[in-house]
Amino acid sequence: MTTTATFPVLSFAAVRERLIARDETALLDVREEDPFAQEHPLWAANLPLSRIEIEAWRRIPRRDTLIVLYGEHGGTDLAPLAARTFAALGYTNVHLLEGGLEGWRKAGGELFRDVNVPSKSFGELVEHERHTPSLSAPEVKALVDAKADVVVLDARRFDEYQTMSIPTATSVPGAELVLRVRELAPDPATRVIVNCAGRTRSIIGTQSLVNAGIPNPVAALRNGTIGWKLAGQVLDHGASRQAPVAVSKAHREQAQADARRVADLAGVRRIALGALQTLEAPGRTVYRFDVRTPGEYAAGHIPGFASAPGGQLVQETDHQVPVRGARIVLVDDDGVRASMSASWLAQMGWEVYVPDAVPAAADFIETGTPSSSHPPVAAAVGEIAPKELAVLLKQSGTAVIDVTTSANYVKRHIPGAWYAIRAQLAQALDAVVPPAQRYVLTCGSSLLARYAASDLRALLDARDHGDAEVLVLAGGNAAWFAAGLEAESGETRLATARTDRYRRPYEGTDAPAEAMQAYLDWEFGLVEQLGRDGTHHFKVI
């Protein structure tokens, strides 16, 4: 380990050694999501410099966690900037990756494309080792068209299902499958087809049913809705079929027994709910998740547990748990969803726990969604009300800079507002010509805008433009629209490129066939990449 003037530096070999030893490590890529998705190490988690104050305390709860940072954008090394931000937030064990991403590459480190790569590569390994049964899109369409005894279960989030779905499919997010499948297919002769957009969630969902031992014939829709579209078949849009909320006593008890057996086989650990504090030993990070649906969580949950529906948690583990080597505790109110979700996390090399007994109804005493804690803004920033801003915008001299997500900006924004990524405000200033006398920062709620305003003030002072006023829109875009003020949409004024989000090749309804096929080809190669990388600790039961 070497040291810069401010922060210690860790080499590729040192980081790899920690990953292999499963020592707690948060390897963070501080670029925006799109450049992160182009290439990154297997266990790197994306936490953009723009959003560190918003996300760090939630995603990396222990302030002495060993953090390793890298990320260049436009010739600027963002890692030292991010390191200083982490240090200001109270993190005491912050490091820079020696040589950054290029140093990782030159040292022989494997680099992966796309997002949620640990989960996706694990899904490919599951199919490779277990030969998860699947049917092609034409085969499934033939069954649906013939009105065969078949049910199609969509394992994605409900909003994804509504965007596009297989005709006749019912929405059953992944963690719900084992609990609810018998309500949808009570006859053991009924064929069950599980799909997602691509491959991972259909593989994991199908294998969950196989592992649980349901008597029905089960198969994944090979390549999901991507395979369906590539076969020239038509998808539904706006479907609303959902699994029954109620589960019979007999079906629940069978699912509980099946899930516990699978979890035990996978090495999931059991602990009394009242003994969870024993996991929080010095140097150990503990994540607590409620894996039920968001609606159930809001209606009542155990204090200290965050909402993370199980299917998505398995799919997006790198986002929810960026500290590799941390401990994870999962709960539900039925003993099925926590055990099944935990069984997959355990196979992915996580130390994961579930209560040894299903929590009582009296344990779920907190309602709603807990508010997140955020650090104070470095300097006080003045506010301006929406209607007051509307008056000023009819005159010259005022510029609005919107640091919301680019997707939200394109959907709807204040007329004349510039879109900018917070970490690239210097570029945004260059776009505003002539320079404004007054800058108003906004986003959805103005939470991120407050931090951006402090950055902008420093930039203006550095450019000898300290006489310009910097304000934050009170209540953000939400308050502007709630006041009934005018809005516009589209990419009207992009001060920075829309690199804050990587466009998945399988999302939406207009993805080109070439991109979808390339995505499938990439997934097929993940098992080979895992072998070259050698840090995964995956073990398929």
pLDDT confidence of 74, banded at 50, 70, 90? Answer: confident
pLDDT of residue 177 exceeding 70: yes
3-state helix, strand, coil in the chain (%, to 5): 40, 15, 40
E strands in 456-540? 469-473
Could you tell me if 123 and 203 are in contact, meaning their C-beta atoms sit under 8 angstroms apart? yes
pLDDT confidence of 60, banded at 50, 70, 90? Answer: very high
CA dihedral (424, 428, 431, 437) positive or negative: negative
Spatial CB neighbours of 204, under 8 Å, sequence gap ≥ 6: 123, 126, 155, 174, 311, 314, 315, 344
3-state secondary structure of 97: strand
Q: What is the pLDDT of residue 416?
A: 97
pTM of the model: 0.95
Distance, CA of 241 to CA of 493 (rounded, Å) = 39
Spatial CB neighbours of 188, under 8 Å, sequence gap ≥ 6: 215, 216
Q: What is the pLDDT of residue 356?
A: 96
The residue whose two tokens read 């709630």 is 482
3-state secondary structure of 296: helix
pLDDT digits (tens, 9 = 90+) for 227-258: 999 999 999 999 999 999 999 999 999 999 99
pLDDT confidence of 3, banded at 50, 70, 90? Answer: very low
pLDDT of residue 97 exceeding 60: yes
Torsion angle defined by CA atoms of residues 315, 444, 37 and 55, in that order, rounded to the nearest 10 degrees: -70
pLDDT confidence of 509, banded at 50, 70, 90? Answer: low
- Average pLDDT value over all residues in the chain: 95
pLDDT of residue 507 exceeding 80: no
What does the radius of gyration of the chain's CA atoms come to, in whole angstroms?
A: 24
pLDDT digits (tens, 9 = 90+) for 273-310: 999 999 999 999 999 999 999 999 999 999 999 999 99
- The CATH superfamily holding the domain 121-242 is Rhodanese-like domain (3.40.250.10)
pLDDT of residue 373 exceeding 80: yes
Structural domain spans, the chain: 2-114, 121-242, 257-363, 382-482
Q: What is the pLDDT of residue 508?
A: 65
Q: Which CATH architecture has domain 2-114?
A: 3-Layer(aba) Sandwich (3.40)
The total of other beta-carbon atoms located within 10 Å of residue 169's CB is 24
According to DSSP, residue 334 is labeled S
Percent of the chain clearing pLDDT 90 (strictly above) = 91
Could you tell me if 47 and 83 are in contact, meaning their C-beta atoms sit under 8 angstroms apart? no
pLDDT of residue 1 exceeding 90: no
Residue ranges of alpha helices (H) inside 267-323 are 294-299, 310-315, 317-320
Mean pLDDT in residue range 76-96: 96
CATH of 257-363, picked from 3.40.30.10, 2.60.260.20, 1.10.10.10, 3.40.250.10, is 3.40.250.10
Distance, CA of 386 to CA of 424 (rounded, Å) = 25
Fold (CATH) for 382-482: Oxidized Rhodanese; domain 1 (3.40.250)
3-state secondary structure of 220: strand
User: What end-to-end distance do the CA atoms of the chain give, in Å?
Assistant: 38
pLDDT of residue 2 exceeding 60: no
pLDDT confidence of 514, banded at 50, 70, 90? Answer: confident
pLDDT digits (tens, 9 = 90+) for 105-153: 999 999 999 999 999 999 999 999 999 999 999 999 999 999 999 999 9
Instruction: Give the CA distances from residue 400 to residues 384, 389, 488, in Å, rounded to whole numbers and listed in that order.
Output: 12, 9, 13
3-state secondary structure of 263: helix
pLDDT digits (tens, 9 = 90+) for 319-366: 999 999 999 999 999 999 999 999 999 999 999 999 999 999 999 999
pLDDT confidence of 518, banded at 50, 70, 90? Answer: confident
pLDDT confidence of 27, banded at 50, 70, 90? Answer: very high
pLDDT confidence of 521, banded at 50, 70, 90? Answer: confident
pLDDT confidence of 522, banded at 50, 70, 90? Answer: confident
Percent of the chain clearing pLDDT 70 (strictly above) = 99
Distance, CA of 275 to CA of 125 (rounded, Å) = 34
pLDDT of residue 503 exceeding 80: yes
pLDDT digits (tens, 9 = 90+) for 403-441: 999 999 999 999 999 999 999 999 999 999 999 999 999
